[in-house]
Chain A
Amino acid sequence: MKKADVFIGIFLILLSILVIVDSSTLPATTGDHDVGASFFPITVSSILILLSVITIWNGMREKKELISFSRKSFTCILFTIFYIVLVYLTGFYISTVLFMLVFMWCYRYRKKWMMMLVTIIVTGGIYLVFEKTLQVPLPSGLFFN
């Protein structure tokens, strides 16, 4: 049995029920022959329930499949979370420089000159394009506001 499929199916069914319940509080019609704001959500959720049942059914019939997750990818995701939080706190430029250098170092890249060059080019390039040319301000961070 493909456990993942079954769990995903169950999760989607619960989600759909949640949507249907939440939609029932919406006005059914604005008069004027309109089906109302609840029509589409309920229809889509109902279809999704049907599809989830099929997915669960298929998941039970199929044999187990090995899905490999890579530690590299998960670390990357964690890094990104830190990066985003850092952008919020310290603004774009500091966090980007830190993120890039630490990331490359962590993944065993050791050519120091290249690391610095790439970081400078990317950060500088973004500054030029976004702040100078397009006049889009980038986050300056909680600490500096």
Chain B
Amino acid sequence: MYDLLLQGLSNVFQVKLLLLSLLGVFVGIVIGALPGLTATMGVALLLPITFGMDPAAGLLLLSGVYFGGVYGGSITAILLRTPGTPAAAATAIDGYELTRKGMAGRALGVATMSSFTGGLLSIFILMFLAPPLAEFAIRFSAPETFALATFGLSIIASISGKSLVRGLVSGMIGLLIAMIGLDPIGGFPRFTGGFVDLQGGISYIPIMIGLFAASEAFKSLEEMNLQGKMKTKIGRILPTLADFKQLLPTILRSTGIGAMIGIIPAAGADIAAFASYNEAKRWSKNKEEFGQGSIVAVSACESGANACTGGALVPLLTLGIPGDGVTAVMLGALMVQGLQPGPMLFENNGPLVYTLFVGMIVCYIMMFILGIFASRFFARVVEIPKEVLVPIILVLCVVGSYAINNNLMDIVFMFASGVLGYFMQKYDFPASPIVLALILGPMAERQFRTALTLSGGSYSIFFTRPITLVLLILSIITLLTPIIKTWMENRKQA
């Protein structure tokens, strides 16, 4: 592994790659800071640009947007009490209290340092965890892959939104959309209504752009422009060594939590942030501080959220299963580059993977520098009025979805998904399950039918193979847990 690492190191230090990483992080922080724009949207919007690039450049650009996006939300959360991203919602509470006490600079510094440390450590975890995991995953055959896809689907259904039923409905709808086109094994056209165009299926990147970017753009017009102009002085941002030492245990614990949550398919930075916050509060000797402006709280949320990024990349790179919404979009980036994520990625493209690892470390370093020196600038970004921002986003959506296949129909699909996503948000149906279903659905079907062919039609293949059985049981547990929880809560109240 170490020679690959050195190779990656030398590959990364080319001007083009470094500039793109910097650009990605910069754009990511801006998008993250802007309320109403999420990291997922940022990656989805920039995805089409990466097609013409070589793989390392494109993927590092997107990683930069990812990392910066998760971190950027904390800036507006702290200064204006408005989280730029869902993951920063937990930071907003204590962060803003600190601003009110005149300690905005300290809060920003702590957030930057924690995001940096958490994220950096998670990349190391990725580097050391991924290769052995990839080797383990090589032993996966059709039944295992089917069970894994099912597991991913069960998690995304239960985690997004408040209701398991609604999450599953979204998932099922996504599965149905995924089935438009030729069936994966026999090649028979399904639900194409005679249109030859639909035989290739509906390209899921326009749908992703529509669901994550366009629908958010439609929705963000409803909220008023941020009235709070930043009047507070910021002061010194770089944290002191004493602060760092005090926060180290919190950062390490939150990193562990965040990375683990990231590794679980479909669980993302917002969950990681809240879980880290809760754990930090539990372990704290001064619980009353939480909510009143505790830098421990800010640190926990931010390190947890950014630690999730490295974790989410683990299942993506080793198993081809996205660890969260952003990595679902990045899966699209990988496939368009002709790279098949999964165990073979390490076999066939080892140098690329290690270039990515090193590049991601560089991204985080750049994020830290930008955060410390330019937070003031990023905070002003919120002054951009919605009526300027929204048309820009929509233009990018249109361009992006067209650019994939030079197909005007893709723009229509993108728009339709955008409208669908907007209404789904209004009616409380989560949108992420659709995207993951589009990716995991065909995988699940193909592997299921292949597995049955391998076993001669016997369903026992799913029960006799240990890995498959474990994953399927986990899927069932994941689906049953919310139901059991609600049942137990109802019993307590009765």
Contact = CB atoms under 8 A, between A and B. Distances in A.
Given A23-B190, A48-B173, A138-B399, A76 B217 contact: yes
A51 B165 contact: yes
Contacts of B418: 80
Contact of A70 (B172, B188, B222, B394): B222
B152 to A, nearest CB: 16
A33 B388 contact: no
B252 to A, nearest CB: 41
Contacts of B176: 15, 19, 41, 44-45, 48
Contact of B388 (A35, A80, A114): A114
B186 A34 contact: yes
Contacts of B295: none
B135 interface: no
Contact of A55 (B169, B191, B396): B169
A6 B186 CA distance: 37
A29 to B, nearest CB: 9
Chain B, interface residues (CB within 8 Å), range: 35 or more
A113 interface: no
Interface string B170-182: 0011011001000
Contacts of A60: none
Contacts of B52: 133-136
Interface in B358-408: 385-388, 390-392, 394-396, 398-399, 402-403, 406, 408
A81 B218 CA distance: 12
Nearest to A136: B403
A84 B385 contact: no
A124 interface: no
Given A23-B190, A26-B188, A122-B392, A109 B419 contact: no
Contacts of B398: 83-84, 87
B412 interface: yes
Interface in A84-111: 84, 87-88, 92, 96, 99-100, 103-104, 107-109
Given A48-B176, A133-B52, A109 B385 contact: yes
A84 B412 contact: yes
A92 to B, nearest CB: 7
Contact of A22 (B191, B402, B406): B191
A37 B172 contact: no
Given A104-B388, A109-B388, A138-B402, A67 B426 contact: yes
B453 A76 contact: no
A122 B222 contact: no
B457 interface: yes
Interface in A61-90: 67, 69-70, 72-73, 76-77, 80-81, 83-84, 87-88
B395 A37 contact: no
B449 A34 contact: yes
B434 interface: no
A104 B176 CA distance: 38
B487 interface: no
B192 to A, nearest CB: 10
A113 B255 CA distance: 46
Contacts of A114: 388
Contacts of A100: 391-392, 395
A37 B190 contact: yes
B388 to A, nearest CB: 6
A52 B173 CA distance: 11
B443 to A, nearest CB: 12
B253 interface: no
**Contact size class for A?**
35 or more
A54 to B, nearest CB: 5
B415 interface: yes
**Max count, chain A CB within 10 A of own CB: residue among B169, B411, B453, B457:** B169
Contact of B51 (A41, A77, A104, A134): A134
Given A84-B398, A104-B388, A41 B190 contact: yes
Contacts of A88: 408
Contacts of A15: 176
B426 A80 contact: no
Contacts of A23: 190
Contact of B221 (A30, A73, A137): A73
B75 to A, nearest CB: 22
Interface in B9-53: 49, 51-53
B462 interface: no
Given A35-B449, A55-B166, A67-B426, A77 B218 contact: yes
A58 B219 CA distance: 26
A99 B395 contact: yes
B279 interface: no
Interface of A: 4-5, 8, 12, 15, 19, 22-23, 26-27, 30, 32-37, 39-41, 44-45, 47-48, 51-52, 54-55, 58, 67, 69-70, 72-73, 76-77, 80-81, 83-84, 87-88, 92, 96, 99-100, 103-104, 107-109, 114-115, 118, 122, 126, 129-130, 133-139
Sorted from nearest, which 7 A-B pairs have the closest CB atoms?
A: A134-B52, A33-B457, A107-B387, A37-B183, A70-B222, A72-B221, A103-B391
Interface of B: 49, 51-53, 165-166, 168-169, 172-173, 175-176, 179, 183, 185-186, 188, 190-191, 214, 217-219, 221-222, 385-388, 390-392, 394-396, 398-399, 402-403, 406, 408, 411-412, 415, 418-419, 422, 426-427, 445, 448-449, 452-453, 455-457
21 contacts: A30-B185, A33-B453, A33-B456, A34-B449, A35-B452, A37-B185, A51-B165, A73-B218, A80-B394, A87-B398, A92-B399, A96-B395, A103-B387, A108-B387, A114-B388, A134-B53, A134-B403, A135-B52, A136-B403, A138-B403, A139-B408
